[in-house]
Structure 1
Amino acid sequence: MELRNHPLRQRLNDEVHTRPPIPLEAPALISFIAYTRDDHDLEAERSHLAQLYERLGLPIEPSAEATHLIIDCGRFKLKWEMHGEFSTYTFFAAPLQAPRSGETALGAAPADWVQAIPGQVIAAAHIEFLTNTSPTPTEMVWQLSGRGDTQIISQIAGEAAWLFTDLRLHDGFSQFTVIDESLGRQRGGRTIQRLVEIETYRLMALLAFPVAKAVGKLLNRAEAELAELIDRMVSAATPLDERTVLADLTRLAAEVEHSLANTNFRFGAAAAYYRLVQQRIADLKESRVSGYPTIKGFMERRLAPALNTCAAVAARQEDLSARIARTSQLLRTRVDMELERQNQELLSQMNRRARLQLRLQETVEGLSVVVLTYYGSQLVQYLAKGSKELHHLNTDVITALSIPLIAGLLAWGTHRMRRKLAAEEGEAH
């Protein structure tokens, strides 16, 4: 039986199986680098990976749609993952020297190829994954106890392993030491992956912190300007003053909306990354070692305040935009009411002019009746003079008698015409 599949079914099903952790068994070395990536760097990145395939003599090259690869390079393994804003390169190698000697998995990779990876490094870490025999967790705690800098020591994975780090950069890399007690290959791979994800996501989340500082300065100035504009709006005495305030308010609204458009994604991404950090820390299942902070405690003291600042600035920016919109609406209402008042005055003036024009028209109509009566009586007089010889009529008497008759007919006709026009206008409305 053949079923009609959705065109995205296979891709969606494969998505939950992407980026699997590589099973690890101690001892092992892991080096991790995350590069921020622009859209135009994607083809360069795939081309760079293809160069590694060619360099190693591997027959298969990455496809144009691949989002993760695991490449067996002999001396080391490389796991490449493509994310929305960054790409990660994780190198795995077996140690050749004694533990704590400074050996890294990155040392097994071609240095020139690593240096030519496109993008900018946002996170990098070296991880030593050791057995619990040399050194033992107790020896590690004793070695680190005399250091003045803050050391993070905790038991993770339900006390199946020990974690040691200070989350500081040493020659550009964070340093982690994980001592395995009873992890197993699968849990070991998942634990290492959670650590590198915590390191990456915490730094990606902190990308919003400098943005929040810059936006905070803008908000301080914009809020002070908004308060000043509100005072000017209250004290505005003329329509010109209100229009000036509205123009300044529109300019301020454009600045804030421009800032929102530029920073909204960064603040939203920071919140999403921070949630991932919290989830990965919960997945570590840490247990506290007396006298030392845990990853969770460190993040709550150091990372959480920065991300809370970003969230507060984002909310403050949204609130300022809403306040400006409300103030603009209020001012536009005032301007509209003033325009309506002016329009009412204009209509009143037009009504007065129309009434005056109607009176003038009625006066002109009266004069027209007089003029037409005069010309009509003249016509009657001419007719009477022409027929005088026939009927021996007095032309002056005939003319005098015709005047009121002509005037009455004209007045009646004018009145009837006015009523007809008024009726037609009423039907039109």
Structure 2
Amino acid sequence: MSARLEYLDIHPLRDDLYNELHSRPFQVLPTPARITQMSVLTSPEQRQQQFEHLQDLHRQLGYPVPEKEVGCFEQTFGSLRVRREMHMEFASYTFTNLAVGDEAPFSETGISPLPEGWLEKLVGTVVAAFHLEIRPGQEDTNADLAYVRNHFEGLRLVGSSPQEGAARVWGTFKLHSDGFGRFMVLNHSMSNSQLGRLTQRLMEIETYRLMSLLALPVAREITPSLNDMDQKLAVITQGLADNQDVDEEEMLAQLTNIAARIEAFRAHSTFRFSATRAYHQLVLSRLEQLREDELSGHLTITEFMTRRLTPAVKTCEAVSERLEDLSRRVDRASDMMRTRVELAIQSQNQQLLTSMDRRSKIQLMMQHTVEGFSVVAISYYLVGLLKLGLGALYDAGVVFDKSMVLGIAIPTTLILVFFGVRAVHHRFIKLAKKQ
């Protein structure tokens, strides 16, 4: 008897984990077919508006309205198939027109069957928008090429023969007069499932290519500021290395300003640069899956991407690394500046302690001088009191030589007062040492 899972502790995300691998299945595409792919940058607020917009399409075409949004939605409306996929920062719409007649390629597209005005109300910022035409291929390669050239407005073609010659793919990676890009797939021996996988890879290559390039304008925008900050930091570092007499307060203000600008650039660009690296890796993986063979006289898609896309991505990576390097250099310069300020403060403290020690010695010498005067003063008053006492005794009838007694009392009083003051002085010194 097999174990019953209801008695086991099941992870709450188990079903989602299973479904995730099947959430974006490849399409099954016939030959011929016309496809339009659009990728739209979407904010959280626009995401709900887009779903409501998709619900409105169902109402206009008389189909049941979906109640719950999913990561990958697909619905066929007669000869129109609509597929919507949600990604981290964009939504992709794939419109497939299955009703292909004898019209010339790109005269009708994937969005032609859409209701009038529906597409214009789509919210978001369009990044990628291109048409993909699927046609049966001919045995003669030259005949294929002559057929293709008539439908790309004279632009330079990029093409290859993927999947060991089972199809031929052509494109320009440029915008055409209608504002869309164009691709054409000439099917020679692919099944509908294989064709769906091929077109999906092509659409992902074009979409991820454009998404990866979103960081390039950011890199170009901040590069002049990085050059300026680099020069200022070099001047500050050289001043510290040469041990020049500089205004530490002004230099710290400059370092703080540079650090603040770098952090602002990092906050503005870190996500974009990270996304560029991720999209570029996706492009490379999809190119590898194409398994292209070269068509004589034309760049393959992989060669084109390697020569054009990779340098742009490397530029973004270089700017990102430069930002991080500048941040580390500013930290090191700030540490050096703080060390210099701390050394200056310690030198000032040492000078202050030396000055205080000198003043203490002077005060001690003055104290000894005052002690000498205080011994004389105390002795003077004590002798005066003693004189009064001797006078009172003499008047009371006690006979003695007042002058002799007073003369002996004066040095005796001085000696006693001197040792008494010294004893008090030493006692306070001992108390101070104990504390």
Name the counterpart of 1:153: 159
- One-letter amino acid of the counterpart of residue 228, structure 2: R
- Matching residue of 2:211: 204
Check the 8 A contact 1:137/1:162 in 2, yes or no: no
Question: What CA distance in whole angstroms lies between the structure 1 residues aligned with 2:324 and 2:367?
Answer: 62
1:255 aligns with 2:256: no
Decide whether the 8 Å contact of 1:381 with 1:398 is kept in 2.
no
Query: TM-score scaled by structure 2?
Result: 0.90
Matches within 5 A, 1:111-122: 111-122=116-127
Deviation of 1:105 (Å): 1.4
Q: Are 1:155 and 1:161, in contact at CA under 8 Å, matched by a contact in 2?
A: yes
Aligned twin of 2:357: 351
Deviation, structure 1 residue 138? 4.4
Instruction: Report how far residue 179 of structure 1 moved.
Output: 1.9
Q: Contact 1:204–1:273 at 8 Å: present in 2 too?
A: yes
- Of 357, 368, 375, the residue aligned with 1:369 is 375
Aligned to 1:409: 416
2:229 counterpart of 1:245: no
Q: Does 1:128 find its partner at 2:133?
A: yes
Q: Quote the Cα distance in structure 2 between the aligned partners of 1:185 and 1:144.
A: 21
Q: Does 1:22 align with 2:27?
A: yes
Identity over aligned residues, as a percent? 35
Q: How does 1:16-415 map to 2 (within 5 A)?
A: 16-63=21-68, 66-98=70-102, 100-101=104-105, 102-132=107-137, 138-144=142-148, 149-170=155-176, 171-233=178-240, 238=245, 241-388=247-394, 389-415=396-422
Q: CA RMSD in A?
A: 2.3
1:228-255 Cα offsets, whole Å, 9 max, x none, are 333444567546x233222222212222
Deviation at 1:7, TM superposition (A): 3.2
Gap change, CA 1:25 and 1:127, over 3 Å in 2:
same
Corresponding residue number in structure 1 for 2:12: 7
User: In 1, Cα distance between the equivalents of 2:28 and 2:254?
Assistant: 62
Aligned residues: 425
Partner residue, 1:427: 434
Q: CA–CA distance in 1 between the matches of 2:61 and 2:423?
A: 109
Deviates more, 1:374-383 or 1:142-151: 142-151
Contact 1:233 1:245 in 2 (8 A): no
- 1:136: how far off? 6.7
User: How far apart are 1:79 and its partner, in Å?
Assistant: 0.7
Question: Could you say what secondary structure the match of 2:85 adopts?
Answer: strand
C-alpha spacing 1:357/1:97, structure 2 compared with 1 (3 Å): same
Q: 1:400 to 1:45 in 2, by over 3 A?
A: farther
Contact kept, 8 Å, 1:232 with 1:245, in 2: the verdict is no
- Taking a change above 3 Å as real, the CA distance of residues 47 and 397 of structure 1, as seen in their structure-2 partners, is farther
CA distance in structure 1 between the aligned counterparts of 2:196 and 2:413, rounded to whole angstroms: 118
C-alpha distance in structure 1 between counterparts of 2:116 and 2:290, whole Å: 32
Quickly say closer, same or farther: Cα 1:89–1:418, change in 2 above 3 A: same
Deviation of 1:399 (Å): 3.1
